[in-house]
Amino acid sequence: MKKQIGDFFNEKTVTIEYPKFTALLKKLFKDLSPWTYIGFLAYLPIDSEIEEIFRDFRTLVREKKNCSTVFGFGPRYLHSSGQLYKGGPILARFIIFTRRGRKAEQIIPEEGYTFWDQQFAQACGDFKALEEKKKPVIMIHLTENYREDLKKFYNYLEKALSFE
């Protein structure tokens, strides 16, 4: 089952309702070495509740897989650690989170698109760049109710990490 993201197709770009979500995560977390790390990359609003949710993801992964994790809000991580993610050896696996924009968002004057459109394009570009560098990556597109979707993701993550 392929989902369309931007103008490209990939079975690793899914929604939170993807029927094989746990299997997809199990595959991403399979055969981690001690020096591998997991990158949680969130193109979501920056706030303390979101940071806390991702802190829970990171704690779960560290406890279950004994590997390091990183977290960053996009697009701001692109200017620093994003360069590290795309270069060097394949030591990391990434999960990019995006969300659906609000219909009422204002159009950027003289551009014809919203800030959300721009941010989503950056997330898609990041996904594509990581794939081109052969970095293991999946992109999860959340609904407008992204906080609830993140709670669902925690449950999928917990299942994927519990069954080996």
Residue 40 lies in a domain: yes
79 found inside a domain: yes
Structural domain of residue 98, as residue ranges? Answer: 34-47+70-113+137-164
Are 10 and 132 contacting, i.e. CB atoms less than 8 angstroms apart? no
104 within some domain: yes
Count up the domains in the chain and report the number.
1
pLDDT for the residue 11 = 60
Q: Tell how far CA 46 is from the center of its chain.
A: 15
Residue 83 domain-assigned (yes or no): yes
CB-based contacts of 141: which residues, under 8 Å, 6+ apart?
3, 5, 13, 14, 15, 16, 98, 99, 100
Domain assignment of residue 109, yes or no: yes
User: How far, in Å, CA of 53 to CA of 51, rounded?
Assistant: 5
Q: What is the pLDDT of residue 35?
A: 86
Q: Could you list the mean pLDDT of each consecutive 10-residue stretch along the chain, which spans 164 residues?
A: 41 78 89 88 93 97 92 70 61 90 74 83 88 90 92 94 76
Residue 4 domain flag: no
pLDDT of residue 40: 96
Of the candidates 125, 118, 65, the one whose C-alpha atom is nearest the C-alpha of residue 93 is 65
CA distances from 78 to 3, 74, 81, 83, 150 (A): 25, 7, 6, 7, 22
Helices (H), the chain: 21-28, 48-65, 81-86, 115-132, 146-162
pLDDT at residue 34, rounded to an integer: 80
Q: Is residue 155 part of a domain?
A: yes
Q: Is residue 56 part of a domain?
A: no
